[in-house]
Structures are given as C-alpha cells and as structure tokens.
Structure 1
C-alpha cells in the first residue's frame, strides 16, 4: 500500500503524541500515558490484528513483554505480518526496544497513517480488543504451563544420571577458577563502559536529530518555503550523497537565486 512508503515530509509525521496516544487508547481500550509504553511491539501487533483479522498469530504476541528479548519476539511477529501483507516497511527493532520517545513516536505515526488507509479508515466494529487480549493471555498461559511441565519431567528423568555421573566428575584447580573469574570481571567492566559510551552517543544523536527536525518543520511553513535560503537549507537536509558535502551545491543555488532576484529587481525599476 502507498502508506507503507510514506516519506518523512508526509503529514503523518506531524501528528502529535497526544493525538497518537488518544487514538491507541480509544481503539484498543488501553490507558497509555507515554508513547514509550508501546515499545514492546504488542500494541502494533494488535492494531494489525484489528485491521487484518486472521493474519496476525496473536498467540505469539506477549503483552507482558518487559525484556528486550521478549520485545524482539513481538517485532518478529510484526515483521512476519508485514511480509505476508507485502508491506515494505523496515522496522528499526533495535531502536524501538530501547523505548526512546522519538523513535517510537515516528513508528506509531506511520502505523496510524497505515491503519487510516485500510478500508478508508473505517474501524472494525466487531473487534473487541480487551476480549482479544484476554484470550491471547489465556492461550499463552496454557502454553507456558505445558512447557514448564515438560521441563520438570525432563529434569526429573535426568537427575539420576547427573547424580551418578557426579562421582566421576573432576574439579578445576582453584587457580584456574580464580583466573577465569578475574577475566570475566574484567570483561564485564569493559562491557559496562561500552554501554555507557553508547548510551551517551545515542542521546547526543537524538538531540541533534530533534534539532534538525525542528529546522525542517520551520522550513516547511508556507510563508518561508519559497525563499531561496529555505530551499538551500532543504537541499542540505535532504542530501543523500554521504561522500560529498552538500554545502557547495547549496551555496551555488543560493548565489544563483540571489543574482536572479537582483536582475529581476533591476528590470522592474
């Protein structure tokens, strides 16, 4: 569908977070207060379940997902649904599961636009979101109980062999264990430092990205969008060549526009 490939300049990305939250809460009978609360991907799956009945394997959706691993499983379900429906929309899973407001807001803005485009925006009146979630929860609990039961049975069967085999087990020397512990501790500290550094870089990136979005929004205003300076700025913002700087082209365009404006002014006198 056309909505799958809407550009960043589309009006869908100017829908505010309050409107997005109101839409989600009213449609799915939820009570979200922040867009980050939809970071698990369960909300997105249920929205697709509503507009495309029977396509989403809801028994695989975890509405209680808290860890990144569980959230990623939800997004895998969502990506499979997109593939079935031939929706060419890339899901930035690694960004969404972090719960950053801007990334989640943009994805929900796209989702709203998509849902509005299906069946002319007419919602499925027969869809009961609460009942659907409760049914999914019951099915999930049954599956979890069955898995636990099977695991306990397997453990009980394996206990005797473990006990018997322990008689012949050898214990590593203390020195080896101490060296391994020290190495693991050192690695843990390095990983912790890398995480802190990465989080700092991500915050800085998000900060400047938001600034650029503000500049883009201002440049789109009707009273300034036709100005040469505005067009030069947009040329820089929308440049796709990563190797070459867009500045010379923008400056050349601005100079040509100024010269053309001067000539026009002289001719009108």
Structure 2
C-alpha cells in the first residue's frame, strides 16, 4: 500500500482533467477546478469510501467556506491518517488558500493511494450522496445530478387569431406561416463542426498536459532554490553556481553556465589547497 510516494512517481503526472473526472465520477460531484476541493471534505469522503467506518462523516463540513471550517475538516482527515498509520504530511496552510498546484498534487497523491487500496475499482456498494446527506454536515454540495426543469406552457405561443373573413387560424409569434423557423445544417457543416470540436478538445488536453508539466518542473526548481538558500549550503561553491544558473536572465546564456562552472572549479581548488 503506497503512502510515501516520491515526486517522480507517475501519480504526479496525472493531469487535472483526469483527476477531476475521477473525483466527480467516484463521489458524484460536479467540480470544474481542483481548487474547489480545498476544503478537505472531498479528501475525507475518499478515505470514507476506501476505509468504510473509519471517517466520522458527521464531522465533515461539505459547505466549509472559512479557513476555520476547512481546518476542522483537515483535522478529521489527519485523525484518519493517524488511525491508519499513514505517514503523509498534509500542508493545510497551503491547501486552504486554494492554490491549484498544491491541491492538484494532494489529489494526485490521494488517487494513487486509493488505487493502491482498491486496485482502481470503485466500490459499487458505496453511495456517496447518501453518505454526504446522512453522515455529513452539508446539504447543498454541488452534485452531478441535475434537477429537471418543469415544462411550462403559455398561450402566447399558440394564439387563435380571427381574420377579416371570420376564419380562425393558429399563429406562432415571430414566425411566418409556411416557412420553417430555421434551416437544418447541411451534412458538410455538421462534419466540419465535429472536426473543429474534436480539434479544440485535443488542444485543451495538450494545454492541460503542458501546464501540468510546467507546474511540476517549476515546483522542482523552486525546491532547489530553497535548498540552495539554506544557511548551511548557500555559500558552498555548488550552491552559488546553481543560483547563478537559476537567476540568469537568459536560460540559454552560455556565460552563466561558464561562470557557474568557474565558481565550482575555484571552490574545489581552494578546498584542496
């Protein structure tokens, strides 16, 4: 069972669209952004699904809006982790701020964990809506179940009009008799629309993948920068050289690489002397 998952694990390369689809399908929700799970309620219910009876769902607030209410949800989640001996550090202060990258990474880890428990198979006997409404403290969570709109009829759409000859006819306002309200699209235009729609979908997926990859490597560079800024390392030749490359104005600037190499060589020479 995977609890300690390294940053290079394939779990962290799962895109946000796939994560959202997994959350919505599993819990019958209708989230459109990963930061909508910042309150911690989604994570609590995921643990409730894979470990029935462990999560006190009556303490989970699905309508949490304030940071205080969100923190209470994460306290419930942390208690569950402690019961299950899951050594996962939850950065609550970052998650409740609603930052997309932090929430995406946590949901990526959560999916990897849930898959390791149930093999990626959803529990068909688990009723997420019932667990939220009966066990949770929320009644207005956004679900994927839409209420059908009631059909309404109006006499304005079918009025009887009497002409000068006493003949009664039914007319629909805004349309002319004998002519269709709109022309059906041709086969060529329909095919073109489908083709453009598929192309837009593919482009959106590509953008999501690129954004996820960009965010991932930016986070790694930020970790390296923080490491090089620690008092114990910031004056070491290697740390100085790395910062010169990180802070160079041009990523392809050969002078920055050469200067960084010189710093390392000089540092090694001084250490030998």
TM-score range, shorter chain: 0.5 to 0.7
What's 2:233 paired with?
A: 244
RMSD: 3.2
Deviations 1:120-144 (A, max 9, x none): 222211001011111124x779xxx
| 1:57 correspondence with 2:56 | yes
> Unpaired runs of 5+ in structure 1?
142-209, 218-232, 257-269
Q: For each residue in 1:169-189, what CA deviation from the matched residue of structure 2 results, as whole angstroms up to 9, or x when unmatched?
A: xxxxxxxxxxxxxxxxxxxxx
Out of 205, 214, 218, the position equivalent to 2:217 is: 214
Choose between structure 1 and 2: higher helix proportion: 1
Q: Give the whole-Å Cα distance in 1 for the aligned partners of 2:26 and 2:93.
A: 26
Structure 2 counterpart of 1:259: none
> In structure 1, what is the equivalent of residue 81 of structure 2?
82
Instruction: Give, in angstroms, the shift of residue 237 of structure 1.
Output: 6.9
User: 1:28-177 alignment to 2 at 5 Å?
Assistant: 28-137=27-136
Determine the structure 1 residue equivalent to 2:200. Answer: none
Match of 1:87, SS state, is coil
Post-superposition offset of 1:58? 0.5
How many residue pairs align between the two structures? 171
Task: Provide the C-alpha distance between the structure 2 equivalents of 1:55 and 1:48, rounded to a whole number of angstroms.
Answer: 8
State which structure, 1 or 2, has the greater radius of gyration over its C-alpha atoms: 2
**Are 1:62 and 1:70, in contact at CA under 8 Å, matched by a contact in 2?**
yes
Q: Which has the higher contact order (CA 8 A, sep 6+)?
A: 2
Q: Where does structure 2 lack aligned partners over 5 or more consecutive residues?
A: 140-212, 243-259, 266-273
Name the residue aligned to 1:12. Answer: 11
1:211–1:131 Cα change, 3 Å: closer
Q: TM-score, normalised by structure 1?
A: 0.56
* Distance in 1, Cα, partners of 2:215 & 2:225: 8
Q: Look up the SS of the partner of 1:4 in the other structure.
A: coil
Partner of 1:24: 23
- Normalising by structure 2, we get a TM-score of 0.55
Deviation at 1:18, TM superposition (A): 0.6
Inter-CA distance 240–78: structure 2 relative to 1 (3 Å threshold) = farther
User: Residues 62, 7 of structure 1: CA spacing in aligned structure 2 closer, same or farther, 3 A cutoff?
Assistant: same
Distance 1:107 1:96 in 2: 8
